A and B are shown apart, each in its own frame.
Chain A
Amino acid sequence: MYGAYIGGIFPRSERLIEATRVKATNLLSLYKEEKRRVVELQAQQGFTYIADPMEDWDDMLRPFLKLEGIQEGPLDRFYENNTFYRKPIIINKVKGPGNIASTALALNLLPKKGNWKASLPDPYTFADLSENRHYADKIELMFELAKILSQEVASLASAGVKMIQLNGPSIVAQKNTEDLRRIGEAIQKTVKGRGVETYLHLYFKNASKIIPKILDFNVDGLGIDFVNTPLKELENLDFKGLACGIVDSTNTKMETPKEIASFVENVLETLEPKQIYLTPNCDLEHIPYTFAKQKVRNMGRALELLRGE
């Protein structure tokens, strides 16, 4: 019943930060070494799924700038954070090989017997973070990106990935019911028939207004940012699966394992999802490395408490 995982980009260690700053000659082997450590850290906590910590990704869209039809744009603020990403500019029909993520992720470093997990942007968030100079509107672009991402999911699945986390922070701000319905269709196109467990993560803002409208999306569960979304605003909703983002990736303040475990129990009691995962509310890269590691350890200890170990 109780599972756990982390997703997205993990912060670089101080050693890695220095190496990227001076463009060290041994940077690739350092990445490998640091990734192994974070993979090991996840495995030690007994997490259900283990992911490449993506320390070599400069932002969640960067490897996809290689897609045909996309040009590298200027830096832009990443939502309301003091962090910036490179904006994709869509200048032509978008085409891709379908294996960008499976090539960019170090799947070979994941444990042979573990369940592998990967994070991808959801097609709407990808479209929303881009500057569209080619398609009629954002929705048309979203469907084109869904085609590409569907191939990415297929390629990850055939490489052995068992779970896909779709990162959908832009969906949280979407108020238009018709657009939400189209987003649901695009997500269905992205993941349908791929045989992987899929969770759509909504974060950075209170998502309680849109959650009732997307409960029927064709995903196995929703990732909720409980740092920004009050549990009481979700009462009486029927969740299939729930990724419970209670560990705050945007603040160094430490949640104790006991606090995490009792919140998860409370969620389970209130919302009664069929499956529940313990997760951070978003990528841990918003806090320094040592704090991120400690938060992961606290998640592991909370998981033990929940499992009665």
Chain B
Amino acid sequence: MTETLVSHEIGSLKKPIWLVNTVRNKSLPKETKDTARDDSAYLNLKILEEIGLDLVYDGEARRVEMYEYPIRHIEGFEFAGRVRSWDNKYFRKARCVGEVKLRDDYHNGEFLFLKNYATKPLKIPVTGPYTLADWSYNEYYPSREEFVIALARKVIRPLLRGLVEIGAEYIQVDEPAATTHPDEMKMFVEAYNEAVKSVPGSISVHICYSGDNYRSLFPHVLEMKTSHFALEFANRDTWDAGGSKEAREGYSALEYFKGNRDLKVGLGVLDVHRDAVEPPKLVKDRILYAAKVLGDASRVLVNPDCGLRTRSREVAFAKLRSMVEGVKLARKELE
């Protein structure tokens, strides 16, 4: 991928209602449900290609969500029950009660399916070891660190290697929990590096909704063996035009990356918790601002703040179209 300002989606899209209804219908046979999943993955792939993203995938059409889906495929876990995220929103949380081990290469099937149809490079989102550990109860390992490192070595590393063996070139390790415990940054970085150790290919990390505007990432992340950091910024930014510091206040954390010339940033330019569609010109302003702060446009990739599953499909696709238009405007200006 030699293009500048490489554009990509973070991962998830809202599932089509017909897929949800088919999967939930207990009277339907497995084959029917699998066909619905295939159709949905194919549809998402083709829409994302048509929108014009540089890297594409399937909107995580086959995954329940980013935690429960992988946990189902890892030995050593049992689901404990539901715990609250907020209000009446719950997630199914698992207990680690034995040694963790990859049960099956749980993303290979979806990748191989997409490989048959994709006309653009695929980028696979994979939930990272630190997040899997942080969102689980550890009843087995003597320490949290041992738990996290075991997940990195015994689960995520073989999973990534398996994906590379079948042709994956771009992998994104999702670590939304990374900055939850600022005291554990060292542990997070160590786990990430263990997970990607001697795995060839371009492996990036996605971190989002940092409570401290990414301050706690430094200096530890300088040690991370990652192609780029896909981060959220847009939700903290204004919609004012231009490249002033005030207009682009949501991007102040770029200052941390500025002096570290090797670090590339996946710039979150779409707020995934807002229906309003960012105009292409605003996307362009955000990109050019980042290029100016980082001193080099080749250090910038472009993405939404996070997975767009929080929005309707209509809004998500409109936002992505606008993002791609904004990238075109920025490329033109940079020429």
Residues in chain A within 8 A of chain B (CB atoms): 11-12, 14, 17, 20-21, 58-59, 75, 77, 80, 82-86, 251-253, 285-291
When the two chains form the complex, which single residue of B85, B93, B135, B181 contacts A288, counting CB atoms closer than 8 Å? B93
For residues 44 through 87 of chain B, which have their beta carbon under 8 Å from a beta carbon of chain A?
A: 80-87
B138-184 contacts to A (CB < 8 Å): 138-139, 177, 180-181
The distance in angstroms between the C-alpha atoms of A85 and B211, with both chains bound, is: 14
Given the complex, which residues of A lie within 8 Å of B80, measured CB to CB? 252, 287-288, 291
Q: A253-B139, A288-B81 are in contact. List 14 more A-B contacts (CB 8 A).
A: A11-B83, A58-B86, A58-B87, A75-B86, A77-B209, A80-B181, A82-B134, A82-B180, A84-B86, A86-B86, A252-B139, A253-B138, A286-B83, A288-B80
7 nearest A-B pairs in the assembled complex, by CB-CB distance = A288-B81, A20-B88, A84-B86, A253-B139, A252-B137, A58-B87, A252-B95
Q: List 25 A-B contacts (CB under 8 A).
A: A17-B88, A21-B88, A21-B90, A58-B88, A59-B86, A75-B86, A77-B180, A77-B211, A80-B180, A83-B84, A84-B86, A86-B86, A251-B137, A251-B139, A252-B80, A252-B95, A252-B139, A253-B138, A285-B84, A287-B80, A287-B83, A288-B82, A288-B83, A290-B81, A291-B81
Distance A83 CA – B82 CA, assembled complex (angstroms): 12
Q: How far apart sit A286 and B83, CA to CA, in the bound complex (Å)? A: 6
Expressed in whole angstroms, the Cα–Cα distance for A70 and B85 within the complex equals 23
Task: Identify the closest chain B residue to A16 (Cβ).
Answer: B88
Q: How many A-B residue pairs have CB under 8 A?
A: 62
A56 to chain B, nearest CB (A): 11
B112-138 with Cβ < 8 A to chain A: 134-135, 137-138
Main secondary structure of the interface of B (DSSP, over half): strand
Residues of B within 8 Å of A82, CB to CB, are 85, 91, 134-135, 177, 180
Which of B84, B90, B137, B181 neighbours the largest number of chain A CB atoms within 10 Å of its CB? B84
Interface 0/1 of B183-223, CB less than 8 Å to A: 00000000000000000000000000101000000000000
Residues of the B chain whose Cβ atoms lie less than 8 Å from the Cβ of A286: 83
**B-chain residues with CB within 8 Å of residue A285 when the two chains form the complex:** 83-84
> CB distance B180 to A11 under 8 Å?
no
CB of B309, distance to nearest CB on chain A (Å): 17
Please report the C-alpha to C-alpha distance between residue A46 and residue B137 in the assembled complex, in whole angstroms: 29
Residues from chain A with a CB closer than 8 A to the CB of B134 are 82
For B88, list chain A residues within 8 Å (CB).
17, 20-21, 58
Alpha-carbon separation in the docked complex, A66 to B220 (Å): 43
Q: Are B82 and A14 neighbours in the complex by a CB distance under 8 Å?
A: yes
Which residues of chain B have C-beta atoms less than 8 A from A288's C-beta? 80-83, 93
Bound Cα distance A75, B87 (Å):
10
Are B81 and A14 interface neighbours, CB within 8 A? yes
> Complex: how many Å from CA A84 to CA B93?
16
Question: What residues of B have a CB within 8 angstroms of the CB of A77 in the complex?
Answer: 180, 209, 211
Q: How far is the CA of A59 from the CA of B84 in the complex (A)?
A: 10
